[in-house]
Structures are given as C-alpha cells and as structure tokens.
Amino acid sequence: MTLRVLCVAAALAALAVTACGDRTSSPPSGPSVIIAPTVTSISPREGATLGGTPVTISGANFAQGASVAIGGVAATNVVVASSTAITAVTGAHAAGPGDVAVTQGGLTATLPAAFTFITLPPPTITSIFPRAGSSAGGTTVTITGTNFAPGASVTIGGAAATAVAVASLTSLTAVTGPRAVGTADVVVTVGGQTGSLAGGFTYVPPGQNLLPVIASLTAQSARPNAPADFADLSEEVPVKAVVSDAETPVDRLTLEWSADIGTVIGNGTSVVWRMPASASTPRSATITLKVIEPVGGSAGTQSVTAKATISLHDSIGEISHVSRQFLLDFSDSSMPASYVVRNFWDGCPGKQDELADVEANRLHYTILSSNIGQPYDVSVGFKAGCAVPGRGIRSGDGCAVVPCLWRDLYKPTGAINTTSGPDYLTAVFRNNRWWLCASDFPSGTTTPARNAPAFIR
C-alpha cells in the first residue's frame, strides 16, 4: 500500500518548501524592499560655476537609475559604477557651497555643503598645436592653458573656431575657421573672461607647410666648469637640439645627425658626440643636424639644417708642450725675457712675475747647458687650481710638473754651478687655447751652494 505523508509549509516569507509526493506550495508574494543610499564623499570638492566638472561620489547602496543633484542642480552623465561609486558632471550654479544629493526609488541621501562652486580666474593660453594651418580653415588644434570650462569659445585671428570641446581645465580642442594668410592671435573666452596667445597661430595658403624650426643646437662638455664649445680627444660631449614644427609633432620628424670628426651616438633631439682618440689639435669640429618633415603632395619632404662648432683639443699634450717649451726657451740665455713668456696669459699675475724672474736670471747668470725632461703629473681641472709644495694652490685649469737641470755661470764671480729640481706650472684655457699662468720652482737645489740671487723663483 502507498502511504502519503502530508507536508506543512513553514510560514516564512522568504522560504519555499517542496511538498512531499506530487504537490508543491510557495510563500505569498510581498512588496520589494528599497534600501536607502548613503553619501560619504565627493571628489573633487570644488569646480567652476559654469559647471562641467567631472566628479566621483562615494557612498553605499547605489543602484541603477539613481539621480544626482549638486547644489540643487541636476548633474548630467550620471553613471552608477558600483554600489559604492557614482560618476557625474556638475551643472552650472552660483558661486558658493552646495549639497550633494543622490536619489533612487524615492529615497534621497544628502551630504550637506560638500561641493563648492568657484568663479574661475580668466583663462590663460600657453600653447597651441599645430601652430599653423590652411587659410581655408578646417585645422583641428589643441590649445593648452588654464581655467578652461564648458561653454568656452575660441577665435583665431578673429575667426570663430568650431567644434570647441573642453577636455579639462587645461586643455581644449577646436577646428579653425577660414581667414587670410598670416599670423593670428589665439583667444579663449570663458564666462565673459578672455585669455590670449599673441601670434600663436599662422594661416598659410592651402597645401603649404611651414618649415621645421631648430631653435637651438648646443654641444657642451659635461666636465665641471668646462668652457663653452670645448672638447678633448676621446671625450663624449652631450649635444641637445630644440626642434619644433608648426604642423607635425616632433616624434614624426626625421632627425639626421652627422659630424666632420668623431662619431654621433643615439638619435632624437639629444645625442652624444664621441671625439676621436687622436687628431691634430687644436682644431674646430662641427656637428650637423638635418630635420626632415613629411609633407603632402609631390614635394614629399622639406628640411632645415643647423650646425654647432666646438674647439677640439688634446689638453694633456698642449699643456705639456707649452710648459716644456717655456723652460727650453728660458734655458737659452740669448732669448729675450719677453719672448720666453710669450705663452703666458696676459690676465695672469704670474706673467709679470715670470717676466721679472727671467730678466733677473739674464742679469746674473749665463746658462751653459740644460736638461729639460718630459712633463709629468699633467692634469686638467677647470677652475680646480694646482697644488705647489710650500706655496699653496695656484688658480688655474691645468697643471704640469717638469724636471729641470741647468749648468750656469754666475757672472759676478765666474763660478759655475748646477741647479736642478721640478718646476710646477699652472695653465689656463682662454680664447680657445691653453696658456701658462704661473711657474714655480720651490724645491730646487744648487751645487755647490752659493750666496747669490735665486737662479729661478
């Protein structure tokens, strides 16, 4: 026999129980439950009185269909991103604070005075790109500046632009209107206030492109205190160019680098110019930049070039040469003192000191023979100075030490003596060459010893 068991449905609104056997029962239907939203914050917390400020509202229990009012003015473009976030765009409102309200299903949550409408200062314009376009109009431009807001209008050379779209407080786009060929002021008007960029845009005949511009091209040694337009053998010199074009972004221009000596490393507006390890110096060296712009029509491309020239040196070799040459000339008693110091820089006090020193030597001594060795401890350090034993630091850009030996005749007595020791020389770089600045002979010895004026200071 079949036993049927009667089942009882529990009286719970949210529970449906399946009956045993072949019957089921469901709870009675009731009204849906609406949960009130809450608003905890808004970002940003201020925007223009003209409206148009994108905002994000944070809170809880947001649902599709919600509406937003800020300062009692309905916001637009309301998007419920999640149950905790809504995005919207403010409407126009008088300056001052406004409540933020979110409404859904007849229930409203309000965050009092959470948003402040502010009157923006006049707009400013810092740039426009492209900076040139057809006199027929139709060029889409991007204007960069500050305090832009929805409702902004644009004129270029007095011709109203169309399709003005404010992307942010600092950027907007527009399409130029027709105007006569020539330079034109760019004007943005927001809420009756204007900002302008004088001569910011150039109208050109249809189909014509302005040439690219190389505003500057500099090659400058990276060594501390190095003079302008200077480089040494084997040095890597940074080269920088400032390039622009009225119609074409810089990254779409072709930049071709070349040099009459050395190697150019890299591309773009910043490269490295590596000098050769050996060359006849001093000499000039030139780097050339060619900027190529693609243009429409049969022309294909147009280009401009610029050059930068530096003075290339073998500083160690040149300092060594003038140092040793000075001492070789000094060692010839027949050479006039003025000639001996010809490679000293006139602006160095050491030149007059050395001139007096050589004249005193010529007065008291005749040099019979000499041995001037090769310079050592030759160094370059612009404005670093040179250490001289017992005499401190001499101001200068390069240093050298030269071993010396002289056999001389002391004129008053006819005595023959030998003087030897290192001569410390200081050099400066002026007028694109190395000059001596000082000569010190602080630790020389004379044999046999004598009671006589110093052979050399």
Residues 298 and 336 both lie in one domain: no
pTM over 0.75: no
Residue 73 dihedral angles phi and psi, to the nearest 5°: -105, 130
pLDDT for residue 191: 84
DSSP-derived letter for residue 344 is B
What CATH code is carried by the domain that includes residue 354?
A: 3.10.450.50
Residues 132 and 150 both lie in one domain: yes
What is the distance between the alpha carbons of residues 188 and 120, in angstroms, rounded to a whole number?
Answer: 14
Neighbours of 235 (CB within 10 A): 19
Residues 420 and 387 both lie in one domain: yes
- Could you tell me what percentage of the chain is helix, strand and coil, using 3-state DSSP and rounding each to the nearest 5? 10, 50, 40
pLDDT for residue 299: 56
What is the distance between the alpha carbons of residues 247 and 230, in angstroms, rounded to a whole number?
Answer: 35
Residues 243 and 290 both lie in one domain: yes
β-pair type (85-89, 54-60) = antiparallel
Q: Considering the domain boundaries, does residue 17 fall inside one?
A: no
Work out the widest C-alpha separation in the chain, in whole angstroms: 158
Cα torsion angle, 412, 413, 418, 419, sign: negative
What CATH code is carried by the domain that includes residue 168?
A: 2.60.40.10
Among candidate residues 252, 280, 313, the one where a domain is terminated: 313
DSSP string, 92-142: ---SEEEEEEEEETTEEEEEEEEEEEEPPPPPEEEEEESSEEETT---EEE
Range of the domain at 164: 124-204
Q: Considering the domain boundaries, does residue 3 fall inside one?
A: no
One-letter amino acid of 293:
E
Q: How far is CA 454 from the centre of its chain?
A: 56
Residues 341 and 420 both lie in one domain: yes
Q: Considering the domain boundaries, does residue 131 fall inside one?
A: yes
Among candidate residues 204, 231, 259, the one where a domain is terminated: 204
Residues 233 and 259 both lie in one domain: yes
What is the distance between the alpha carbons of residues 416 and 410, in angstroms, rounded to a whole number?
Answer: 6
Tally of CA atoms within 13 A in the half-sphere of 444 that contains its CB: 24
What contacts 83, CB < 8 A, 6 or more positions away?
A: 60, 61, 62, 63
Tokens at 75, concatenated: 């916001």
Residues 278 and 163 both lie in one domain: no
The pLDDT tens digits along the chain (457 residues) read 333 332 223 333 333 333 334 444 455 555 567 789 999 999 999 988 888 889 999 999 999 999 999 999 999 999 999 999 999 999 999 999 999 999 998 999 999 999 999 988 999 999 999 999 999 999 999 999 999 988 899 999 999 999 999 998 899 999 999 999 999 999 999 988 999 999 999 999 988 888 999 999 999 999 999 999 999 999 999 999 999 998 888 999 999 999 999 999 999 999 999 999 999 999 999 999 999 998 865 558 899 999 999 999 999 999 999 999 999 999 999 999 999 999 999 999 999 999 999 999 999 999 999 999 999 999 999 999 999 999 999 999 999 999 999 999 999 999 999 999 999 999 999 999 999 999 999 988 989 988 888 888 8
Beta bridge partners of 422: 403
